[in-house]
Amino acid sequence: MSGAEMHALVERLYPICRSITGDGVRRTLELVSELLPLETHEVPTGTPVLDWTVPLEWNIRDAYIADTTGRRVVDFAESNLHVVGYSVPVHATMSRTELAEHLHTLPEHPAWIPYRTSYYAPTWGFCLAQRALDALPEGDYEVHIDSTLAEGHLTYGEHVVPGRVTDEVLVSCHVCHPSLANDNLAGIAVATFLARELAARQPYYTYRFLFAPGTIGAITWLARNAERVERVRHGLVLACAGDRGALTYKRSRRGDAPIDRVLEYVLRTSGREHTVVDFSPYGYDERQFCSPGFDLGVGSLSRTPYAGYPEYHTSADDPGFVSPDALADTLAVCREAFAVLDRDRRYVNLSPYGEPQLGRRGLYDSLGGRSDAKQAQLAMLWVLNLSDGGHSLLDIAERSGLPFASVTAAADALLAAGLLKE
Please give the single-letter amino acid code of residue 41: H
Distance between CA 68 and CA 383 in Å, rounded? 79
SS3 190: helix
Phi, psi of 66 (to 5 degrees): -120, 145
For the residues of 91-122, what is the DSSP string, one character each?
EEEEEHHHHHTTEE--TTSTTPPB--B-SSS-
Does the annotation list 395 as a binding residue?
no
Distance between CA 154 and CA 21 in Å, rounded? 5
If you ran DSSP here, which 8-state letter would residue 320 be given? G
Distance between CA 135 and CA 87 in Å, rounded? 24
Distance between CA 40 and CA 55 in Å, rounded? 18
- Give, in degrees to the nearest 5, the angle at Cα 36 between 30 and 41: 55
How would you label 280-308 residue by residue, b for 16+ Cβ within 10 Å and e otherwise? eeebbbbbbbbbeebebbbbbbbbbbbee
Task: Write the CA distances from 5 to 12, 67, 192, 329, 330, integer angstroms.
Answer: 11, 42, 11, 13, 14
Does the annotation list 177 as a binding residue?
yes
SS3 183: helix
| Burial class (CB within 10 angstroms; exposed 0-12, middle 13-18, buried 19+) of 390 | exposed
Distance between CA 284 and CA 286 in Å, rounded? 6
Phi, psi of 389 (to 5 degrees): 85, -10
Which residues are annotated as part of the binding site? Answer: 177, 183, 313
Annotated binding-site residues for Zn(2+) read 177, 183, 313
